[in-house]
Amino acid sequence: MIDQFGRNINYFRISVTDQCNLRCIYCMPDKGIDFLQEEKLLSFDEIYRIVKIGASLGISKVRITGGEPLTREGLPKLIQKIKTLPQIEEVCLTTNGILLEKYIDELIKAGLDRVNISLDTLQHERYKQMTRGGNIEEVIRGIKLSLDGGIKRVRLNIVIIKEENDDEIMDFVELAEKNPIDIRFIELMPIGEGKQFKSVSNDEVKEIIMKERELIPYIAKNKSLGPAAYFKTPNSKGMVGFISPMSHIFCSQCNRMRLTSEGFLRQCLHWKDGIDLRKMMRDGMEDKQLKKIIAKGVYKKPNEHGFKKDCIDEDSKRMFQIGG
């Protein structure tokens, strides 16, 4: 699918739930959250229907997100079903890792290709504080089982926040040097609770690393690595990636659409515009018409986000409600 700016849109990020078993300080408030009732969530059959239509239009990669997607019962079966679509080349999962140990065998059997694990600290007490109660040992076991189980690529997503975890940058680099794990530093985005914290730009992160290590650019043979710029340090087993949506806007290369857990097709993380596919499906719309609407929505994908501007069309939802 080609949008109005000539970008090839071949990637769906699909949130299956807004619920989460953690309360990370920059993502979700500690209390007062009204999660969606089950009837307002897209069913797995509805998600599969949308993916199938998207695949017929050119979608080849699907990422399952949340909230925490593994809190949605039966998720491996959805992944297995999506993997049966011949056009889908890759199905990936973004998770906080707490439940990986429980579900990793089912996920591997279902055909999961890659897993991204959100992990912003390697310190036990700090992890408990930043996640408001999480146990990092559960995550570490999940990472090990993912590697041992043969998941093609295991990545850690790390959001560096000023005066919260900015003293651990080199600890993560050393983790990638010693293990076949890719780490990715992701700039904090001013969405929801994230507006209360001070971000650290990836230029600053690179500067800290380069005081101690040489960063050797990694040139990918294909474009499956997404928006991250990857590097390796000498003799490292894993890579060090940088995703910089604020300091180095990469919207001109964006290839994704988002589907929220309540069924809105979202063209951009920032803008509040969306298409209510759930209502259309439940009102009885046929696939042929739904396909036209999805294709039109893709074509109208905006040129770029506006996080650095004062925008009346900015979405007020938090990240877990849109899909991380």
CATH at 92: 3.20.20.70
- Parent domain of 280: 11-322
6 domain-assigned: no
Written as six digits, the tokens of 54 are 């998207």
State residue 290's pLDDT score: 98
157 domain-assigned: yes
Confidence bin at 193 (pLDDT 50/70/90): confident
CB crowding 101-134: b at 16 or more within 10 Å, else e? bebbeebbebbbbbbbbbbbbbeeebbeebbeeb
- pLDDT one-digit tens code per residue, 143-167: 999 999 989 899 999 999 999 999 9
5 domain-assigned: no
**pTM reported for the whole predicted model:** 0.91
Q: Residues near 43 by Cβ (< 8 Å), separated by ≥ 6? A: none
How many structural domains comprise the chain?
1
Confidence bin at 320 (pLDDT 50/70/90): low
The interaxial angle of helices 44-57 and 75-83, nearest 10 deg, is 20
Asked whether the predicted pLDDT for residue 315 surpasses 90, the reply is no
Q: Find the farthest-apart pair of alpha carbons in the chain and give their distance in angstroms, rounded.
A: 60
Asked whether the predicted pLDDT for residue 309 surpasses 70, the reply is no
Asked whether the predicted pLDDT for residue 322 surpasses 80, the reply is no
- pLDDT one-digit tens code per residue, 249-281: 768 888 999 999 999 999 887 666 789 999 999
Q: Is residue 207 exposed (0-12), middle (13-18) or buried (19+ Cβ within 10 Å)?
A: exposed
Confidence bin at 190 (pLDDT 50/70/90): confident
Written as six digits, the tokens of 255 are 């290839």
Q: Give the closest residue to 246 by CA, choosing from 296, 321, 293, 191.
A: 191
37 domain-assigned: yes
State residue 257's pLDDT score: 94
- Residue 258: beta bridge partners? 13, 266
Percent of the chain with pLDDT over 90: 78
Asked whether the predicted pLDDT for residue 208 surpasses 60, the reply is yes
Asked whether the predicted pLDDT for residue 39 surpasses 70, the reply is yes
State residue 306's pLDDT score: 62
- pLDDT one-digit tens code per residue, 172-182: 999 999 999 99
How many C-beta atoms lie closer than 10 Å to residue 52's C-beta?
A: 18
- pLDDT one-digit tens code per residue, 102-152: 999 999 999 999 999 999 999 999 999 999 999 999 999 999 999 999 898
What's the half-sphere exposure (Cβ side, CA atoms, 13 Å) at 136? 14
- pLDDT one-digit tens code per residue, 45-93: 999 999 999 999 999 999 999 999 999 999 999 999 999 999 999 999 9
2 domain-assigned: no
State residue 42's pLDDT score: 98
Q: What is the mean pLDDT of residues 317-323?
A: 60
State residue 219's pLDDT score: 81
